[in-house]
Amino acid sequence: MDPIESTSDVQPAARGTLREAALGGGRWVAIENLFLQGLQTVTTLILARVLDEDDFGIIALILLVNGLFVLVTEFGLGAALVQRQERVDDVYLATSFWTSLGLGLIAGGAVAALAGPIAASFNTPEATPFLRFGALALPLGLATSIPSSQLARKLRFKARSLVKMGATTIYLVVTVVLAVVYDLGAWAVVIGWISRGTFALAASMFASRYWPKLKYSVEILKDDLSFNAGFLGSRVSGYLAKNADYWVVGRFAADGALGQYYIAYVLPSMIRQRITLVVQQSLFPVLSRAMSQLDRFGAAFLQTLQFVTLTTSALLVGLAAVADIAVPVVFGSKWISIVAPTSVLAFSSVFDAQVVVARVVILSAGKPMWNLVLGMVRVAILGVMLIWAWEEQTLVAVAIAVLVSSVLGTVAHYAAALRLLRSSWTPLLKTLLPAVVPSLVMYGGVRVLRGLLADRITIDIIELALLVAAGGALYLGTGYLLHRGAFRGLYGDIADTLIPGRGKKRQRDDLTPEQIAEREARRAARTDLTPEQLAEREARRAARQRGDQ
């Protein structure tokens, strides 16, 4: 592996860096994910009480199969559109769209044709019709990736997020009505997926003002072949690393175990994805548009990594600490058997979140092959651990196998990212340190308090609320005492992301007179105005704003 550019050891970036652009652009992505978190939580709570374990087993199988076929056929066309540095014209967009739609139709047809043998291999022949109907989601999803990526390329995060929120709302309404009112079981979820995909495609095309033209160019596909191949390979390896455990559980476990493992995995994964999706959807387009600033990638990597680590550690380590009471409260008492694997998978998700940051930075630098190699390393580690889990034949053993592969895979991604940036391990470890001690204090304190409250509070939801409040206070209090700068930065980052205009205002307030003069000179060069003319224009604008207030 060759570094992309020579850089010194990474130092914290000043305000106005790529991190600020990513946080500002990620505001709507954050709103979107908070909204989706709420809707998906409501949906999961309702379905966990309405559907049985066999229904969740069918749902997990469809997700597993469709996910594999999407990875094999997606070919990274949407990501290539976002990362592309050259001008994107109608021919490029049309070629990407028709190729994606064609691959989706091929994938859907393959799933429909192989549905019977696939269902039989998991000892669930009753899943065959569900797999065939669920295959309709494949062409819808792949076709949607192009207009959605066009919105990301233009940094139109608001429109992109509104489309996703609308599609998820459609899914919630359709699924809950069909499951609760008409008692359709797993069919309710599958029909909800198709409804969501149809709405997302139509809304994405409308929002991006993109209507595919009847144009096509094989040369365009050839130009992006190297990037696409690397992206495809990295996605396939990532899929294997994320789903090999499902295959093992589906093969050795008893009836209902696949559904149990799905529920154990979904809660920590859902929490982690609400944060990492913000990074993926906002940081990738921003960095891809700033390829000429590769020397600043290191600062963006470390600052984003610290933000993700501090937030996910608080939520996921906290989940592991309260899993024995949170699982029955959230999903019902019938899921009490998944407490242990849920706790282990929560710790695994902490490391998975860190991997996402490294992978985004590597992909933004145009190095998808690096992610492919790293993904295969993780798959190899997971494969070895799953051999042990197969012998144990318990869900906890499978979860431990996933945890070990996550930890070692994270170390490998760190090594690659630091090599890419020609940095050392010292700044990386300093970035991660503020999350370690507060997480340990929070976990230990919550477990001790859990033992003290066990016989004194009989209402589980009240006890859970007290434990969550205590855990949050321990984490934030310890972190602020030991690592005040990091935690103050965390509060500022969250506020900059969620409060419109706050980041830009704080950015202006932090500038020195020399930085202000330099910025005005750059703006003058872009607008053909002198610094004095720009200063006069800024003064008039400030006066108007004071008058409006």
Q: Could you report the per-residue pLDDT of 381-440, keeping only the tens digit for each?
A: 999 999 998 888 888 999 999 999 999 999 999 999 888 878 889 999 999 999 999 999
DSSP for residue 456: T
Residue position matching structure tokens 């400030």: 542
Is residue 13 within 8 A of residue 290, CB to CB? The reply is no
Angle between helices 53-74 and 186-207 (to 10 degrees): 30
* Structure tokens given for 440: 């340990």
Is residue 465 within 8 A of residue 506, CB to CB? The reply is no
Is residue 38 within 8 A of residue 165, CB to CB? The reply is no
Look at the chain and count its residues: 549
Q: Could you report the per-residue pLDDT of 486-543, keeping only the tens digit for each?
A: 888 777 766 665 565 555 555 554 455 555 566 656 555 555 556 666 667 666 666 6
Question: Hey, where are the domains in the chain?
Answer: 511-548
Q: Is the pLDDT of residue 6 over 50?
A: no
Query: Quick one: which of 256, 257, 266, 253 has its CA closest to 342?
Result: 266
Amino acid at site 158: K
Q: Could you report the per-residue pLDDT of 171-220, keeping only the tens digit for each?
A: 999 999 999 888 888 899 999 999 999 999 999 999 988 888 888 888 77
List helix spans (H) across 17-136. 18-25, 27-50, 53-74, 77-83, 90-121, 128-134
Is residue 54 classed exposed, middle or buried when 0-12, 13-18 and 19+ CB atoms within 10 A define those classes?
Answer: middle
Residue position matching structure tokens 């991006």: 208
pLDDT confidence of residue 478: 94
Task: Please state, in angstroms and rounded to a whole number, the distance separating the CA atoms of residues 535 and 304.
Answer: 33
Phi, psi torsion values for 208, nearest 5 degrees: -85, -5
pLDDT confidence of residue 335: 83
* Structure tokens given for 127: 């899943």
Average pLDDT score, the chain: 79
Label residue 198 left, alpha or beta by phi (over 0 means left) and psi (-120 to 50 means alpha): alpha
* Structure tokens given for 451: 């033992």
* Structure tokens given for 88: 């994107």
